[in-house]
A and B are shown apart, each in its own frame.
Chain A
Amino acid sequence: MARVLLRNGRLICPFTGVDRTADVLVEDGRIAAVGHGGGIVTENAEVLDLAGKIISPGFVDLHTHLREPGEEHKETIATAVEAALAGGFTTVCAMPNTQPALDSRITIETVARRSEGLGVRVLPIGAITVGRRGEQLAPLGSMAAAGAVAFSDDGSPVSDAGLMRRALEYSRPMGLPIVTHAEELALSAGGSMHEGAVSARLGVRGIPAAAEEVMVRRDVALAEMTGGRLHVAHVSTVGAVDAIREAKRRGVAVTAEATPHHLALTDEWVAGWEDLDGDGRPPTALGERAYDTSTKVNPPLRSRDHVEAVIEGVRDGTIDAIATDHAPHSPLEKECEYGCGAFGISGLETALGLAMTLVGRGAATLPRLVALLTSEPARAFGLPPQGVREGARAELVVFDPEREWVVDPSRMASRGRNTPLDGHRLRGRVLLTIAGERVWRSPELEAR
């Protein structure tokens, strides 16, 4: 890459507190200059006129399933990186539920090594317990030394409260968060969707909201007792939001994330009643896509009252960050009966479009939304700030907040095409992502 001049965009950088029209000159993977709009004059650079577009630090995803090692038919580190770039992400935190699980120094190093040179920073999360079996603490110290940025048994809860307590205690001096996948299995077992009116109508076994809330409350109590750092993954319920809000008020070291799909979609989607805007369409017969497993995700898409509570949690700061829980699957795991389908949505590439619905409904300003995707997740995990500053490594995204586009899974970069948004119109499109030497351009940008 030679030189690219991003001219006249609206630079929103929550790390540096900047929100103004600016030029950014990128040279050989570094930010060579940041100037006032139209202020940088240079030769031998590709010039992109970005009036009306946003220039922001690259997005940071706290919750990505890379599937490598072990499930490369679903996704590889390389394809996940392409999906990340297409979604505007320049940092992804890799969940350890691979095969084998990332539960040792060696496996953490393997992921780190395989990710080198791909542009996007891939930061491994270590398992809390050996093999994610919930029986014995994994070597958290060795993994931290090898570069793990957090610990989680994501995909499964740590059901043993005593073990969770020790994990929070033991990790405390390392300053790394324990990420809880909050699910009480005694309540959720056998369920495939949110338990409520829609699951009753569909005859699908439900996962009650309380399965999340009781576990969040348990873990908050353990974090409070131990002084450990707790991060709550994919918050989806009224009760969990309340529990985290109360805990923060008491000064407990807890942070939380919500996914774009839990902020924008409801359990009505499982019945094929797709209604992004939420203006009540009368439920009559089931929709065309009833029982489509692309809506099957854990935690499940919740009912509207829960969605509203999570949005309120984002609005008032109870929820710190937006994280994708990108969970790619192959048709093998998804083209089946609803109850048999794998949980998960391929989410990196639709994250911005779904998250932009927060702006559309007035729950977040554009700068706040950018913060939820950049500085806030970085702060939650204690990652080094990556502001748009002269001399820094170029980690940038350019997006058009107004641009509408239609989701076409066949054109996704991820190997996982499992999205319920097939054919849906989203507003907010990533046009350009720069991750060091790596430059990703959207087809729209190429066509200009």
Chain B
Amino acid sequence: MTQTTRTLARALLDVDALGAEGIEEVLEEAGQMRGEDGRPVRSRELAGQIVANLFYEASTRTRVSFEIAARNLGAEVVNVQPSGSSITKGESLVDTVRTLESLGADAIVIRHSEAGAPYLVSRHFDGAVVNAGDGLHAHPTQALLDLLTMRDRFGELRGLRVAIVGDVSHSRVARSTTIGLVLLGAHVRLCGPRTLLPPDGWLEYLPRSERGGGAVQTTSLAEALEGAQVVMALRMQRERQTGGLLPGLREFVRDYGLDREKLSRLAPGAVVMHPGPVNEGVELAPELIVAKDSLIGRQVANGVFVRMAVLRMLLGGERG
């Protein structure tokens, strides 16, 4: 049995465990979920299965995307939104997961503010587990939808030049998408102010790419953007400013906020992406969001296909 099928037979915790072939398998599958008309192919394939959305962090977008994906496949969806107080009252994550298992949940889709929480869930839950974002660590379905969006536009990702700009340090999207891109052979430049970049050493712990992919970090936006084919802006959390990591948002916008002028360094035919929701006028100038080179809307649509593919591979008939 290959690494890929073994991993997706149980859980999707991050893209690293999928490897390049595993990622491509999911992307192929996601393509199958997209009909000729560009809309999801609905089925009853997961009829009778229960998908529990366990979201410890509010996230309407991701939760709804998972919910629609599951319903498109005929699964039942329950939304569990533990209030912050029930966590502090001592109902532990493990308790909650055991309860969901007893209640008959077949899959848990978990969003949590603590890195690694989905790993804990997968150790205590017999069904399938999907990481819908854990702390600063990973957001694998976001990475997969980013990869699908880039592949739709550029075909092969090998050699693709991608700049990821902004608060890299606090971005699980940056981590997972970088890992996916590197595995598929792309060249990633991570860019932001020094206080919002992880220590350079972390690049040593990225998976080895058998396709010549790699990642570098720079504080120079010009360097990051020069000749890039994709630029992905990251959401800037306002509390970073109060955390003393930045002198102020204005300075961030001046140096790293993307606008037409700064984007003139990109390669011809380059595209703009963002995991959403966008702080307009902070990481992206408003006119870029709906521009014809923006793929932000495509990313959202692809999210449903990718999540359908993941749920189908985890819960579908060929499982086991």
Tell me whether B93 and A198 are in contact (CB under 8 A): no
Tell me whether B137 and A336 are in contact (CB under 8 A): no
User: Does A335 touch B at the CB level, under 8 Å?
Assistant: yes
Tell me whether B137 and A202 are in contact (CB under 8 A): yes
By size class, the interface of chain A is 20 to 34
User: B116 touches which one: A196, A204, A284 (CB < 8 A)?
Assistant: A204
Interface centre among B136, B138, B199, B207 (most CB of A within 10 A): B199
By size class, the interface of chain B is 20 to 34
Distance of A235 Cα from B199 Cα, bound (Å): 23
User: B135 touches which one: A195, A204, A283, A286 (CB < 8 A)?
Assistant: A204
Chain A residues, CB < 8 A from B134:
203
Chain B residues, CB < 8 A from A195:
199
Tell me whether A204 and B137 are in contact (CB under 8 A): yes
Tell me whether A286 and B14 are in contact (CB under 8 A): yes
* Also in contact, A200 and B114, with CB within 8 A (given A271-B205, A283-B205, A284-B16): no
Tell me whether A285 and B172 are in contact (CB under 8 A): no
Tell me whether B205 and A201 are in contact (CB under 8 A): yes
Interface centre among B115, B134, B175 (most CB of A within 10 A): B115
Chain B residue with the shortest CB-CB distance to A284: B207
A interface: dominant SS = loop
User: B14 touches which one: A196, A205, A282, A285 (CB < 8 A)?
Assistant: A285
**A residues 197-224 with Cβ under 8 Å of B?**
197-198, 200-205
Chain A residues, CB < 8 A from B201:
196-197, 200
Chain A residue with the shortest CB-CB distance to B197: A200
**B residues 100-152 with Cβ under 8 Å of A?**
112, 114-117, 119-120, 134-138
User: A197 touches which one: B14, B135, B202 (CB < 8 A)?
Assistant: B202
Distance of A246 Cα from B134 Cα, bound (Å): 43
Tell me whether A339 and B114 are in contact (CB under 8 A): yes
Chain A residues, CB < 8 A from B199:
195-197, 200
**B residues 180-214 with Cβ under 8 Å of A?**
198-199, 201-208
User: Does A277 touch B at the CB level, under 8 Å?
Assistant: no
User: A282 touches which one: B16, B94, B119, B208 (CB < 8 A)?
Assistant: B208
Instruction: Add 7 more A-B contacts to A283-B204, A291-B116, A336-B92 (CB < 8 A).
Output: A195-B199, A200-B205, A204-B136, A291-B119, A336-B120, A337-B112, A337-B120
- Contacts from B to A (Cβ < 8 Å): 13-14, 16-17, 19, 92-94, 112, 114-117, 119-120, 134-138, 169, 172, 175, 198-199, 201-208
Which are the 5 A-B pairs with shortest beta-carbon distances?
A291-B116, A203-B137, A197-B201, A203-B136, A200-B198
